[in-house]
Amino acid sequence: EAQVTQNPRYLITVTGKKLTVTCSQNMNHEYMSWYRQDPGLGLRQIYYSMNVEVTDKGDVPEGYKVSRKEKRNFPLILESPSPNQTSLYFCASSLGRGQLNEQFFGPGTRLTVL
């Protein structure tokens, strides 16, 4: 089944404790992206990647890191999480140029930072 998977789905952590949220897609998509969803703010793009070893900042990259060493994986890294990073996170992928094509979203990861 074609899908985008994220792990973990739920995470409660404490300020400053490094964490990684994994994202993997099995559709051979070039484009992958991370978003956070907050009440009243909609979806905001954190980082995106047009292909392996190519990443770019979205609108809200501060406090996050990403890497794209393999086409299928695009992990989101929070080196030192803070409470303002409590949010619902979505990973997405699309075929070819991200500009052009519909995105397939993962199920979301709900992160709470205490």
Nearest to 46 by CA among 18, 82, 85: 85
Do 51 and 71 touch, CB atoms closer than 8 A? yes
d(CA 99, CA 20): 26
Do 105 and 23 touch, CB atoms closer than 8 A? no
Minimum distance from CB of 43 to another protein (Å)?
4
Select 67 or 103, whichever has its Cβ closest to another protein: 103
**# residues contacting another protein (CB under 8 A):** 28
Contact call for residue 8 and another protein (CB under 8 A):
no
Between the CA atoms of 65, 69, 31 and 95, what dihedral angle is there, to the nearest 10 degrees?
Answer: -160
Select 13 or 104, whichever has its Cβ closest to another protein: 104
Contact call for residue 70 and another protein (CB under 8 A):
no
Q: Per-residue string for binding with another protein, 19-58, x by CB under 8 A?
A: ------------x-x-x----xxxxxx--x-x-----x-x
Minimum distance from CB of 46 to another protein (Å)?
11
d(CA 52, CA 22): 16
- Interface contacts to another protein, rule CB under 8 A: 31, 33, 35, 40-45, 48, 50, 56, 58-59, 88, 90, 92, 97-105, 107-108
